[in-house]
Amino acid sequence: MEDKIVIGQEEWCGLEELGLPAIKARVDSGAKTSSLHAFNIHQFEEAGKRYVHFDIHPIQNDRKTIQSCRGLVVDKRNVKSSSGDKERRPVIKTPITLGGETWDIEVTLTNRDTMGYRMLIGREAMANRVLIDPDRSFCLGTVSTDELKQYYGTVRPKKDGLRIVVLASNPELYSNKRLIEAGEERGHEMRFVNISQCYMNISSNNPEVHYRGGQLLDDVDAIIPRIKPAMTFYGCSVARQFESTGAYCLNDSVSIARSRDKLRSLQMLSTKRVPMPTTGFANSPMDTTDIIKMVGGTPLVIKLLEGTQGKGVVLAETVKAAESVISAFKSLQANILVQEFIKEADGKDIRCLVIDGKVVGSIQREAAAGEFRANLHLGGSASPVKITSAERKIAVVAAKAVGLQVAGVDIIRSKSGPKVLEINSSPGLEGIESVTEKDIAGLMIECIERKLRERT
């Protein structure tokens, strides 16, 4: 017992073979295996052995400093993610140095950080070697910021990195933060630009976007528009202006505008034979009776044409209720869709995230008790789901029909097969990234890289 090293709940350790002389780790005897928060993970074979190449941010709260590492893969392990989903992750073997002693440990590579720590030391790595004093931290000493700088330097954006603008309204939103982070991780110069603070020179010989304070936003390689519904008109004009300056737009302004109009996008889906619930649209209340019949009678769903996040989606159980809701909406001059109610969906729908013609992630959303709308904002919950090839296909066709490179396609499972409910041009990343544990923001950045390569 005397020769065991005493450590606290957090310690600095070294993983020299990975090029990580100092990394702050959380000591977690509740976890069996140790883990490293890695990204850009790629496995390859060399001389009959399996290796993994990955990047890591070695310094806590610093996403600009990146260290590229390579390790020998000794195993693949099922790791339970926060969503309860099992995932196979590579395990590497590497020496750890702690308190002047060095020994081999196994480490899984994960793509989630644990409370900001880049490393977690689990039981296996500590067995017979250490004693934990949970009241203490850094029993083995600390590493200064200067030392860290010496070890890792400060990584500037890559010389051939792109200048990418996230065009949105709130820099604090999870999705916007993740896009900036994912771009920086890949060596690009990322900038958040607030839509409402842009103004434009629309003369034909000199299209320009200016930013509040007088700055000219030129030299932008690509933009990622994340336009909130209330900003659709102005946001699409700014995106269009960036397009005319030659910047690549991940979701062009025309497709975003189309997707914001439920009727227009459903009409586009229908021309591509994408299955959807029977849907009616009429101008005059005189046609209400026929419209109700057309969608198969009640119960039916009435939707405001410009509603989002489930607001303005109403379930009418009886003909009387349907007639009075339709007449109330009409008296407010609101445009509405009347739609067959898919009862057997049982308050569930599927969100498929499509990037560049591929479904890169999907989740099932389930409505809160007593609610038929599965929107997460209305208390719905999300869980992993395996989609069928038919669902995958209609999600891809739907995104293509509207012209979106990045789309959240909502699908409902009916007796007669999957049906598309709607298509979203700024799908939120939080639910899908946390449930699937996939780096969706990174895939969006990689899509831009690909498209710009294709252009040249």
| Interaction site with ligand ADP (CB under 6 A) | 277, 301, 303, 307-311, 313, 339-342, 345, 349, 367, 372-375, 410, 412, 421-422
* H helix or E strand, kind and range, residue 326: helix 319-331
Nearest approach, Cβ of residue 280 and ligand ADP (Å): 12
Nearest approach, Cβ of residue 12 and ligand ADP (Å): 47
Nearest approach, Cβ of residue 232 and ligand ADP (Å): 13
- Both tokens assigned to 452: 């710009």
- Measured CA to CA, the distance from residue 152 to residue 437 in angstroms comes to 28
Quote the longest CA-to-CA distance of the chain. Answer: 90
State the residue for tokens 């060095």: 102
Contact 5, 130 (CB under 8 A): yes
Nearest approach, Cβ of residue 239 and ligand ADP (Å): 21
Strand partners, 80: 86
- Of residues 241 and 288, the one with the C-beta less far from ligand ADP: 288
- Of residues 9 and 309, the one with the C-beta less far from ligand ADP: 309
- Of residues 250 and 374, the one with the C-beta less far from ligand ADP: 374
What is the rounded (10 degree) CA torsion for 73, 74, 78, 83? -40
- Of residues 105 and 412, the one with the C-beta less far from ligand ADP: 412
- Of residues 109 and 301, the one with the C-beta less far from ligand ADP: 301
- Both tokens assigned to 100: 């002047």
Distance between first and last Cα of the chain: 64
Contact 98, 5 (CB under 8 A): yes
- Measured CA to CA, the distance from residue 184 to residue 199 in angstroms comes to 26
Three-state SS letters, 355-409: ECCEEEEEEEEECCCCCCCCCHHHCCEEEECCCCHHHHHHHHHHHHHHCCCEEEE
- Of residues 110 and 424, the one with the C-beta less far from ligand ADP: 424
Dihedral over Cα of 313, 317, 318, 321: its sign: negative
- Both tokens assigned to 111: 């793509």
Contacts of 46 (CB under 8 A, 6+ apart): none
Nearest approach, Cβ of residue 364 and ligand ADP (Å): 11
Nearest approach, Cβ of residue 303 and ligand ADP (Å): 6
Nearest approach, Cβ of residue 272 and ligand ADP (Å): 19
Using alpha carbons, select from 377, 317, 381 the residue that is nearest to residue 348: 381
Nearest approach, Cβ of residue 412 and ligand ADP (Å): 6
- Of residues 218 and 346, the one with the C-beta less far from ligand ADP: 346
Nearest approach, Cβ of residue 373 and ligand ADP (Å): 4
- Of residues 188 and 365, the one with the C-beta less far from ligand ADP: 365
What is the rounded (10 degree) CA torsion for 372, 375, 376, 380? 10
Radius of gyration (Cα) for the chain, nearest Å?
26
Dihedral over Cα of 257, 259, 263, 269: its sign: positive
SS3 346: coil
- Of residues 54 and 341, the one with the C-beta less far from ligand ADP: 341
- Measured CA to CA, the distance from residue 296 to residue 174 in angstroms comes to 41
- Of residues 225 and 277, the one with the C-beta less far from ligand ADP: 277
Using alpha carbons, select from 28, 23, 18, 109 the residue that is nearest to residue 60: 23
Nearest approach, Cβ of residue 19 and ligand ADP (Å): 47
- Of residues 356 and 371, the one with the C-beta less far from ligand ADP: 371
Nearest approach, Cβ of residue 374 and ligand ADP (Å): 3
- Of residues 110 and 425, the one with the C-beta less far from ligand ADP: 425
Instruction: Count how many Cα atoms sit within 13 Å of the Cα of residue 157 in the half-sphere of its side chain.
Output: 14
Nearest approach, Cβ of residue 335 and ligand ADP (Å): 14
